[in-house]
């Protein structure tokens, strides 16, 4: 049984590494032991599946340090979902707490120039290889209370539904905007926190804030031609369509060459009249005349 569990873990680790590469998180530190400060559980060290840090495009002069833990099984998510999640969550935040006081973190801060703030965040990858209609853990866990007493900057849960959403979107881009012809990057939303002239507006690294969001914004460039592509994890509806119209128009400041909005369940034969009606309702023909809607299947977990 132990060897079988290890083999499943190895499969899960490969899925995670392939996924991280697809979002620009190359060469994470893996299988790290961090000296524990957790006296309550009397641990000498905290084991961490992986660590990745990057200069934060969402907040000027900051670095995000991401600690990730992966759980992978051949079985559906358990009936003891809440209890198991709290255990996984507690282990991860305790590891973050220990890392913040570690020599590794001191070295990272010493070697980082022109950085004012470090954010310490976690990702719990909780995946399985079972056919199930209940792959959306986030909606099932959104009301639980987590009181660990540990200060951190956020833990993000990635379940089957979320990892497939991002992978499907990236796979769609590879097929429709091939790398040899297009430069494809994630779009970084502008705010008062990253509006400086030196900040990137797009890049190859997916910010952690996007990893369990409902929209994935991507831009494809070919010479002077640009296409803003927004993927939605939500079902197709006129309200969501108009919301994406507004987001895409704001991103491009009405200057992008074309816009593509993608939904899992979009059917042109059924939904095209609704799209045409939404374009009329939006009232900006300069923007909507170059806008199309499509669907995006494909998959990652095997």
70-95 pLDDT tens trace = 998 888 888 888 889 999 999 999 99
Q: DSSP readout, 39-76?
A: TTTT-SEEEEEEEEEEE-SSSTTEEEEEEEEEEEESSP
Structure confidence at residue 195 (pLDDT): 77
Q: What is the reported pTM?
A: 0.89
216-269 confidence digits (pLDDT tens): 999 999 999 999 999 999 999 999 999 999 999 988 765 568 999 999 999 999
- Please list the residues that pair with 285 across neighbouring strands: none
Structure confidence at residue 253 (pLDDT): 60
Residues 119-148 have a mean pLDDT of 79
The angle at the Cα of 301, spanning 231 to 73, to the nearest 5 degrees, equals: 125
Question: Which H helix or E strand runs over 245?
Answer: helix 238-252
In percent, the amount of the chain with pLDDT more than 70 equals: 86
Of 225 and 7, which is predicted with more confidence? 225
Query: Taking all residues of the chain, what is their mean pLDDT, rounded to a whole number?
Result: 86
Question: Could you tell me which of 6, 5, 34 has the C-alpha nearest to residue 122?
Answer: 34
Residues 211-219 have a mean pLDDT of 95
The Cα 265–Cα 191 span in angstroms is 31
**Residues 6 or more apart in contact with residue 300 via CB below 8 angstroms:** 15, 18, 19, 163, 164, 167, 168, 171
* Architecture of the domain made up of 2-162: 3-Layer(aba) Sandwich (3.40)
The Cα 171–Cα 193 span in angstroms is 31
Structure confidence at residue 51 (pLDDT): 96
Structure confidence at residue 106 (pLDDT): 95
Question: Does residue 5 carry a pLDDT above 60?
Answer: no
Out of 63-67, 223-227, 296-300, give the one with best mean pLDDT.
63-67
Structure tokens, 182? 């297009």
The Cα 66–Cα 53 span in angstroms is 6
Question: Does residue 197 carry a pLDDT above 70?
Answer: no
CATH 3.40.91 location in the chain:
2-162
Of 179 and 1, which is predicted with more confidence? 179
Question: Does residue 299 carry a pLDDT above 60?
Answer: no
Cα radius of gyration rounded to whole Å, the chain: 21
Residues 58-65 have a mean pLDDT of 95
Question: Does residue 204 carry a pLDDT above 70?
Answer: yes
Question: Does residue 133 carry a pLDDT above 60?
Answer: no
Structure tokens, 26? 């190359």
Question: Could you tell me which of 148, 154, 151 has the C-alpha nearest to residue 67?
Answer: 154
Question: Does residue 19 carry a pLDDT above 50?
Answer: yes
Question: Which H helix or E strand runs over 88?
Answer: helix 81-100
The Cα 265–Cα 26 span in angstroms is 32
Largest Cα–Cα separation, the chain: 64
Question: Does residue 301 carry a pLDDT above 70?
Answer: no
Contact of 57 with 200, CB cutoff 8 Å:
yes
Residues 158-177 have a mean pLDDT of 93
């Amino acid at each position: 049984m132990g060897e079988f569990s290890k083999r499943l873990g190895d499969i899960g680790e490969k899925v995670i590494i392939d996924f991280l590469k697809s979002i620009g998180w190359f060469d994470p530190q893996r299988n790290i032991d961090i000296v524990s400060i957790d006296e309550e559980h009397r641990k000498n060290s905290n084991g961490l599946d992986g660590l990745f840090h990057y200069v934060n495009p969402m907040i000027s002069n900051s670095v995000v340090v991401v600690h990730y833990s992966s759980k992978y099984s051949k079985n559906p998510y358990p009936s003891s979902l809440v209890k198991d999640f709290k255990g996984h969550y507690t282990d991860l935040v305790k590891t973050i707490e220990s890392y913040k006081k570690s020599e590794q973190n001191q070295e990272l801060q010493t070697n980082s120039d022109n950085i004012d703030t470090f954010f310490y965040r976690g990702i719990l990858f909780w995946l399985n290889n079972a056919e199930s209609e209940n792959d959306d853990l986030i909606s099932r866990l959104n009301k639980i209370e987590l009181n660990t007493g540990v200060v951190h900057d956020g833990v993000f849960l990635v379940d089957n539904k979320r990892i497939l959403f991002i992978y499907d979107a990236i796979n769609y881009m590879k097929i429709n905007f091939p790398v040899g012809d297009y430069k494809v990057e994630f779009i970084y939303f502008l705010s008062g926190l990253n509006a400086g002239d030196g900040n990137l507006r797009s890049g190859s690294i997916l910010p952690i804030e996007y990893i369990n969001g409902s929209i994935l914004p991507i831009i494809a460039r070919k010479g002077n031609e640009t296409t803003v592509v927004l993927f939605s994890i939500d079902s197709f509806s006129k309200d969501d369509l108009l919301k994406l119209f507004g987001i895409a128009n704001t991103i491009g400041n009405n200057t992008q060459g074309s816009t593509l909005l993608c939904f899992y369940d979009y059917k042109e034969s059924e939904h095209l009249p609704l799209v045409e009606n939404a374009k009329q309702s939006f009232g900006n023909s300069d923007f909507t005349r170059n806008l199309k809607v499509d669907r995006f299947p494909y998959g990652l977990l095997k």
